[in-house]
Amino acid sequence: MLREIFLLLLLGGLIFCAIATAVSKRLMKMIIVYMAYSLIMSVIWLLLESPDLGITEAAVGAGVTGVLFYLALRRIHQFDKDAADQDAQNNSGKDEQGE
């Protein structure tokens, strides 16, 4: 019985996390919620008597996939910053020419 209640709670958390990723506006938040989703999933694998999957999901789903998402987001911010720098540089160049 205790197992059933725990499982139901986890499944509820799973759906909550899935909906939260779908509606979240900020990408960083979405990625963190997705990592939480993967962790909940790995506990559910344990409850369903598949420890192999639990270990793999924790290492791959929550670990490596999360890191990849984070790095991709980081690269994207980097491009933004480059473009902003470039704009600033161009503007200052124009100003100098103007003077």
Partner 1 sequence: MLTSFEDLWIHVAENYIVIVSIILFGIGFTMLLFSRNLLKKVVGLNIMDTGVYLLLVSMGYIDGRHAPIIADGITDAANYINPIPSGLVLTGIVVSVSVTAIMLSLIVRLYEKYHSLNLDEIYELRNKEENA
Partner 2 sequence: MKKTFWQKLSAWHKGEFDFTLKTTDHVDPPIIHEYTGKEHTIQALSRKERAFSGALYNVLCVLFCLILIGVLLGAVVSLPPHGNAENPAVNEVMDRYVEEGMQETGAVNTVAGMILDYRAFDTLGESFVLFTAVCAVTILMKNTKRTAPDGTPLPMVVAPGIVDYSKDNIVKTVSRFLIPFIFVFGVYVLLNGHLSPGGGFSGGAILGSALILFSMVYGEDRAAAIFSERLIKTVVLVSLSFYAIAKSYSFFTGANHLHSIISQGIPGRILSAGLILPLNVAVGFVVCCTMYSFYMYFRRGRIQ
Figure out which of the listed residues 6, 74, 92, 94 binds partner 2, where binding follows CB under 8 A: 74
Q: Residue 22 binds which one of partner 2, partner 1, none, with CB within 5 to 8 A depending on kind? A: partner 1
Half-sphere exposure of 94 (CA within 13 A, CB side): 6
Task: Tell which one of 19, 83, 91, 93 touches partner 2 (CB under 8 A).
Answer: 83
Helix, strand, coil percentages in the chain from 3-state DSSP, rounded to 5: 90, 0, 10
In the complex, least distance from residue 98 CB atom to partner 2, rounded to whole angstroms: 19
CA pair distance 29, 51, nearest whole angstrom: 29
9 binds, among partner 2, partner 1, none (CB under 5 to 8 A by kind): none
Query: Two tokens at 63?
Result: 């670990």
- Are 24 and 33 in contact by the 8 Å Cβ rule? The answer is yes
HSE toward the beta carbon, residue 55, CA cutoff 13 A:
2
Complex with partner 1: residue 4 or 99, whichever CB lies closer? 4
Binding site for partner 2 (CB under 8 A): 50-52, 54-56, 59-60, 63-64, 67-68, 71-72, 74-75, 77-78, 80-84, 86-87
